[in-house]
């Protein structure tokens, strides 16, 4: 090969690298634009909910006193009426045609007790609505939090829903995750969220093969615990889906639904810095997932595992997340990794060298030129410790090298030291 050809080959290779980096930058740009759009939308939604919360709190406050007065007076009225009956009877015997407020004695004895009982029931319903509204606007009892297990909340909610579940003949399968970290939460509030979603699931099933799965688990990548409730009911109608968390959105008016269940649940989840998302297919079913930050979030170190071999990634993730030591996110090549570096901000990167799309060396070049990533620790893993690419990586300053295959226990121990943890 003469010098001219060598330069040409070099040029082509450099151009290929540049093209890939350009593609990578375009992918990054699209990703950032999407993140920006999503966060603007979320902000608008949050502001809308905030305004609605203030309005609702005001209305709830205004209704609260009058309805309490009514609730207080109804039993008085019932007592007075019971004492009054014999007096009225005596009067009716003396003057059989006497009317009371336009009604005769027989009508009153037949109906008045029921009329007052109906008023009492209606007043109870208003009180319940006011309390839901207060919950929605979070103006009611300040949420007192303590470390708790979401599995306990699920079991309690199941007990509270027992009557509904028994009468509906829906089959409920619990798949509760083992060894979940605690969340810092208010047990009653978490139970209420689960109960609201569970009851909705039961109500959405209108056939006799009803099935509800309640699953709990932990998400390694963001340290959040989740509770997922999946039904095989009718699915959420598109008109409802777009405003489902707003108060008074319901298709159950005739069955007494107020449309407050999910808006209250949304607010309670938000008070726990959590979120509720849903996925629904008309006619096939719905899945609601409640994500709540575990006590590990913000405590455990974040790791990004980059390897194109899925089996190796899963093995590493398993070793690192055992006992929830670390929060772990994964990527299968350099491009995917560089996108995740921007959003996930790991404390440590475990990086394979030979990968399609963008290899470990190219990623190291990008990282070393990015001041914001200078604090991030890097461990390089490779099956080819003799390869010249490794020398280039070391020359860039990345000197934590592990030759594959390695002993997992030693690896996790060494990783702890690199992260600056005590033995």
Stretch that binds ligand ATP, among 41-49, 87-95, 168-176, 258-266 (CB under 6 A): 258-266
Q: Using the rule CB under 6 A, is 204 a contact of ligand ATP?
A: yes
Which secondary structure element, helix H or strand E, spans residue 303, and what is its range? strand 302-306
CB 412 within 8 A of CB 319: yes
Q: What angle do CA 272, 276, 277 make, to 5 degrees?
A: 155
User: Which of 69, 76, 75, 101 is closest to 88 using CA atoms?
Assistant: 101
Q: Could you write out the DSSP letters of every residue in 143-174? A: ---EEE-HHHHHHHHHHHTHHHHHHHT-EEEE
Place of tokens 């194109």: 308
CB of 62 to ligand ATP, least distance (A): 20
Question: Hey, which residues between 277 and 296 contact ligand ATP (CB under 6 A)?
Answer: 286
Q: Using the rule CB under 6 A, is 257 a contact of ligand ATP?
A: yes
Q: What does 177 bind: Mg ion, ligand ATP, none (CB cut-off 5 to 8 Å by kind)? A: none
Residues forming contacts to Mg ion in the complex (CB under 5 A) are: 200, 261
Which of residues 189 and 333 has its CB atom nearest to Mg ion in the complex?
189
CB of 260 to ligand ATP, least distance (A): 4
The encoded tokens of residue 181 equal 């970290």
Q: What angle do CA 115, 117, 123 make, to 5 degrees?
A: 105
Q: What does 195 bind: ligand ATP, Mg ion, none (CB cut-off 5 to 8 Å by kind)? A: none
User: Which of 312, 149, 291, 311 is closest to 221 using CA atoms?
Assistant: 291
Q: Binding pattern to ligand ATP, positions 217-246, x when CB under 6 A?
A: --------------x-xxxx---x---x--
Which secondary structure element, helix H or strand E, spans residue 44, and what is its range? helix 3-94
CB proximity list for 178: less than 8 A, separation 6 or greater:
none
- Rounded CA separation 203/404 (Å): 54
Which of residues 259 and 293 has its CB atom nearest to ligand ATP in the complex?
259
Q: Using the rule CB under 6 A, is 260 a contact of ligand ATP?
A: yes
CB of 169 to ligand ATP, least distance (A): 17
Q: What does 133 bind: Mg ion, ligand ATP, none (CB cut-off 5 to 8 Å by kind)? A: none
Q: Using the rule CB under 6 A, is 259 a contact of ligand ATP?
A: yes
CB of 420 to Mg ion, least distance (A): 48
Which of residues 138 and 404 has its CB atom nearest to ligand ATP in the complex?
138
- Rounded CA separation 290/404 (Å): 39
Residues that bind ligand ATP (CB under 6 A): 196, 200-201, 204, 231, 233-236, 240, 244, 249-252, 257-263, 286
């Amino acid at each position: 090969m003469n010098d001219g050809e060598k330069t040409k080959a070099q040029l082509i290779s450099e151009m290929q690298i540049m093209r890939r980096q350009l593609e990578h930058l375009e992918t990054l740009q699209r990703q950032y634009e999407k993140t920006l759009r999503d966060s603007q939308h979320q902000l608008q939604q949050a502001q809308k909910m905030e305004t609605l919360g203030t309005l609702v709190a005001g209305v709830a406050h205004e209704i609260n006193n009058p309805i309490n007065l009514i609730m207080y007076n109804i039993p008085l009225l019932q007592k007075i009426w019971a004492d009054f009956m014999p007096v009225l009877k005596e009067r009716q015997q003396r003057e059989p045609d006497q009317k009371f407020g336009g009604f005769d004695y027989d009508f009153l004895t037949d109906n008045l007790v029921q009329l007052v009982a109906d008023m009492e029931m209606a007043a109870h319903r208003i009180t319940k609505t006011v309390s839901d509204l207060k919950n929605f606007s979070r103006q009611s009892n300040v949420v007192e939090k303590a470390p708790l297990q979401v599995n306990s909340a699920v079991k309690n909610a199941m007990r509270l829903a027992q009557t509904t579940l028994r009468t509906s003949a829906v089959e409920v399968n619990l798949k509760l995750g083992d060894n979940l970290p605690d969340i810092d939460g208010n047990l009653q509030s978490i139970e209420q969220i689960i109960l609201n979603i569970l009851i909705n699931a039961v109500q959405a099933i209108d056939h006799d093969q009803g099935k509800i799965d309640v699953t709990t688990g932990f998400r390694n990548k963001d340290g959040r615990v989740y509770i997922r409730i999946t039904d095989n009911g009718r699915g959420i109608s598109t008109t409802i889906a777009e405003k489902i968390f707003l108060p008074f959105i319901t298709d159950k008016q005739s069955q007494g639904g107020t449309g407050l269940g999910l808006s209250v649940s949304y607010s309670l989840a938000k008070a726990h810095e959590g979120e509720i998302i849903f996925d629904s297919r008309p006619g096939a079913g719905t899945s609601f997932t409640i994500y709540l930050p575990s006590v590990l979030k913000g405590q455990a170190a974040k790791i990004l595992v980059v390897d194109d071999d899925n089996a190796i990634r899963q093995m590493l993730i398993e070793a690192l997340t055992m006992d929830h030591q670390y929060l772990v996110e994964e990527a299968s090549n350099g491009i995917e990794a560089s996108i995740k570096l921007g959003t996930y901000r790991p404390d440590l990167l475990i990086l394979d060298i030979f990968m399609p799309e963008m290899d470990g060396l190219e990623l190291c070049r990008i990282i070393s030129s990015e001041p914001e990533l200078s604090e991030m620790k890097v461990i390089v893993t490779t099956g080819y410790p003799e390869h010249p690419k490794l020398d280039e990586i070391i020359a860039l300053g990345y000197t934590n090298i592990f030759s594959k295959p390695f002993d997992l226990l030693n690896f996790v121990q060494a990783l702890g030291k690199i992260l600056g943890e005590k033995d």
